[in-house]
Amino acid sequence: MIRTLPKRPAVRIVLSVCIWLVTSNVQAIGLGRIVVNSALNQPLDAEISIASIEGNVLESLEIRLATDSDFRRANISIEPVVKLLQFNVINGETGPWIHVTTDRSVRTPFLHFLAAIEWSGGRIIREYTALLDPPGYDTVAGQSMTLPSATDRRVIQPGDTYEPVRSGETLMGIATSIDV
């Protein structure tokens, strides 16, 4: 049996307001991707962009590594280096972002972790994977390679022909005789 909203306007208005209040804080913050600024075997320096933020959420915003039970529910193993992650909310000139750092060098090529973001109106858990390239990787990959210039070759004209090859002649001998 399908139920519909009551026909009385007062009840409809009250239900609409309740639904609006419940869902108004659901998406008060939107997180972007992670950008890694450090390399492998260096302390982590990464940024998570805050794509959208509504109202005064920034004042009550707290970010940390998710709990062990959150990792178990997501079926993600917790590597020891992940426990070293530190999160700080920065209110920069271009907008707010999250600075993710470690004090120690990271020796694994990628970090897979869950970040828990809490504010006065809710909580989000977001999964991130940070890839760390070896030091100097970007500079090697970004360099362009120059090809050697072609040497001037003599163009063979239709009159520059050689009669059929005779027994015992070599390609080198023929090329020398017609000055190629």
Domain ranges of the chain: 27-133
Q: Which of 74-78, 134-138, 150-154 has the highest mean predicted lDDT (pLDDT)? A: 74-78
**For residue 57, how many other CB atoms are within 10 A of its CB?**
19
Higher pLDDT: 162 or 21? It is 162
CA distance 165 to 170: 9
User: 14 pLDDT band (50/70/90 cuts)?
Assistant: low
User: In the chain, how long is the greatest CA-to-CA distance?
Assistant: 109
Mean pLDDT of 55-71: 87
Tens digit of each residue's pLDDT (9 = 90 or more) over 23-48: 544 556 888 999 999 999 999 999 99
pLDDT of amino acid 25:
45
Higher pLDDT: 50 or 66? It is 66
Mean pLDDT of 110-125: 91
Q: Three-state SS for 58?
A: helix
CA atoms within 13 A on the CB side of 46: 26
pLDDT tops 50 at residue 141: no
Mean pLDDT of 62-73: 95
pLDDT tops 60 at residue 150: no
CA distance 86 to 102: 6
Q: Which of 16-25, 108-117, 144-153 has the highest mean predicted lDDT (pLDDT)? A: 108-117
Mean pLDDT of 88-113: 92
Residue partners of 116: CB distance under 8 A and separation at least 6: 63, 64, 65, 66, 67, 70, 123, 124, 125
pTM for this predicted structure: 0.61
What's the distance, CA 125 to chain centroid? 18
Q: Does domain 27-133 have CATH number 2.60.40.10?
A: yes
CA distance 95 to 90: 8
Beta-bridged to residue 115, according to DSSP, are: 65, 126
CA distance 38 to 35: 9
